[in-house]
Amino acid sequence: MLVRKKKLGFATVVLALLLAIPAGVSAAAAPGVLRTGLPSHILTPGALNPAVTQATIGMTICVSGWTTTVRPPTSYTTPLKRTQLVIYGYSDRSLADYEEDHLVALELGGSPRSTKNLWPEPHHVIVGGLDVGSYAKDGLENYLHRQVCAGYLTLAKARAEIETNWIAYWKAAGKPRG
């Protein structure tokens, strides 16, 4: 029996995303992000790539260049960023001020296309005098990736740290930048 996978169009994904949002959530999302640096866990709880497990990291995330094989194209992420800026309720809608970021990074086996794992992360968010925007998170992602691939940290632990409160782990790890 031949089974065909149906690709969902971008409009279908956006419509599903809009319909899945509980009433009143987006109005509070942007102030929360700008106050904490963390995404709304209702809108962006995180999602994993089932192909990446502790047993497969040597064939997936720990292979140089692997993330380029799963990273979604900007033709997918840019329209999603535009839509999510509205959903999150940001008043600044300049696309250049945000990274359409994976909450669970691709280099930690995050889902490449799930809207549960993608969010418009501001490049700069000042919390307690620290810039905890996208550039800080990128540094932590690289640090965690190195730790996982060197065997110092389990994939599950790295994912848990990034999904729950990446800023606390970033601070505890010495604020890695690269």
C-alpha 154/C-alpha 51 separation (Å) is 16
Distance separating alpha carbons of residues 63 and 24, to the nearest angstrom: 42
| Cα torsion angle, 14, 100, 97, 31, sign | positive
Reported as a single tens digit per residue, the pLDDT across 6-28 is 455 555 554 455 444 444 444 45
Helices and strands of the chain, counted as H and E runs: 6, 4
- Strand (E) or helix (H) holding 42: none
Dump pLDDT digits (tens) for 97-147: 999 999 999 999 999 999 999 999 999 999 999 999 999 999 999 999 999
Q: What Cα–Cα distance (Å) separates residue 10 from each residue in 25, 75, 79, 102?
A: 22, 9, 8, 17
Every domain of the chain and the residues it spans? 25-172
How far is it, in rounded angstroms, from Cα 37 to Cα 55?
Answer: 32
Please name the residue that has the structure tokens 């996982």.
Answer: 148
pTM of the model: 0.84
Residue position matching structure tokens 């690709």: 7
Q: E strand or H helix at 102, and its extent? A: strand 98-102
Q: How far is CA 88 from the centre of its chain?
A: 14
Task: Taking residues 165-174, report their average pLDDT.
Answer: 94
Q: Which own/partner contact pairs does 168-171 have at CB distance under 8 Å and 24+ positions apart?
A: 169/140, 170/132, 170/136, 170/137, 170/139, 170/140, 171/130
For the ranges 24-33, 65-74, 77-86, 132-141, the lowest mean pLDDT is seen at: 24-33
pLDDT in tens, 57-68: 999 999 999 999
Cα dist from 81 to 3, 86, 93, 130, 150, whole Å:
32, 9, 9, 25, 33
